[in-house]
Amino acid sequence: MTIEFDKILISSCETYHCYEGNPLYNNRFTAVLKFANIGLAAVKDNSGAYHIQINGKPAYKLRFDKSYGFYCNRAAVSIDDEYFHIDINGKRIYKTSYEWVGNYQENLCVVRKKDQYYHIDINGDPVYKERYDYVGDFKDGIAVVYKSNSATHINNKGEYIHNQWFKQLDIYHKGYARAEEISGWLHIDKTGNPLYESRYKNVEHFYNDLARVETFDGNIFQINIKDQIIHRLNKEDIRVSEAQLSSDMVDFWKIFIINAAIKLNIFEYLPSTTDGLVKNLKVPKDNLIR
């Protein structure tokens, strides 16, 4: 029987894998992760952390403290808080150990050493000399890097894409990236330039030409790349806000009028006529008539 790896599921107790509603094997583990498309899955039992084949048997003899899924035929593992990558046979790819490693994406991987982040290639060699406060995964040959509380984009050679720096930054999605300046969130193009002048409390990626955005006063819209509002998403909430604002304004004027009446000692002369109040308060009659 041919097994389709994407149809292998993790059991509800997360101690084994299922296929078409049945256990894939007889073994039971302390914990399991998803099967990679090469037919290996990270598991853990009393012997340690390692990888198994679809029959539930170990892929190799070695054991680790932690093991993670395979990406680009490489898996992250750790021993005594030292992280590195192994191949499908459990063999170590490179000699260097790191404080932490990510998963390979596009044959490049995030690593941390001496509290500095950078990328290594498929053989474990650094891609560039620069070191950053943080770096993200590559997508379509571009990654986000942070330095001195600012973020920009680099290519897979470590070169700056646009050398525009932002407070926060996201990866490119369909040609545009989410970015945050001091004044708020926006979208930028591949040159690092804003698509529009507006700034928002939050923005999402563009999806089929539209992006969900939230304004600082709580309005939620879908906009296009020209910042034109195409659809309002929280109409009912806005009506409630307008009603609440109207109620608050009425309450304000009630309090204002009562306060003014107290200062003018109006209550001492009530009940009274308008002419009586004019005489006692010594104010123009027009000021007492609504």
Number of domain units in the chain: 4
**What is the reported pLDDT for 262?**
74
Q: What is the CATH number of the domain that holds 142?
A: 2.40.10
Residue 239 lies in a domain: no
Q: Is there a single domain that holds both residue 133 and residue 158? A: yes
Q: Is there a single domain that holds both residue 198 and residue 260? A: no
Residue 266 lies in a domain: yes
**What is the reported pLDDT for 257?**
72
Amino acid at 51: H
Q: How many helices (H) and strands (E) does the chain have?
A: 2, 22
**What is the reported pLDDT for 98?**
99
> Which of 118, 149, 165 is the last residue in one of the domains?
165
**Nearest C-alpha neighbor of 58 from the set 100, 18, 29:** 29
Q: Is there a single domain that holds both residue 14 and residue 94? A: yes
Q: Report pTM.
A: 0.79
* Residue whose pair of structure tokens reads 């063999």 in the numeric block: 91
Q: Is there a single domain that holds both residue 25 and residue 77? A: yes
The residue segments making up the domain with residue 258 are 246-288
Dist. CA 93–CA 237, nearest whole Å: 55
Question: How would you write the pLDDT of the chain (290 residues) with one tens digit per residue?
Answer: 688 999 999 999 999 999 999 999 999 999 999 999 999 999 999 999 999 999 999 999 999 999 999 999 999 999 999 999 999 999 999 999 999 999 999 999 999 999 999 999 999 999 999 999 999 999 999 999 999 999 999 999 999 999 999 999 999 999 999 999 999 999 999 999 999 999 999 999 999 999 999 999 999 999 999 999 999 998 655 544 556 667 777 777 677 777 777 776 766 767 777 777 667 767 776 666 65
Q: Is there a single domain that holds both residue 186 and residue 252? A: no
> Which of 144, 165, 186 is the last residue in one of the domains?
165
Residue 7 lies in a domain: yes
Dist. CA 288–CA 275, nearest whole Å: 10
CA 33 to chain centre: 23
* Tokens of residue 276, six digits: 């009586």
Task: Confirm if 143 and 119 have CB atoms less than 8 A apart.
Answer: yes
Dist. CA 233–CA 32, nearest whole Å: 40
Peptide linkage before 194 cis (omega within 30 of 0): no
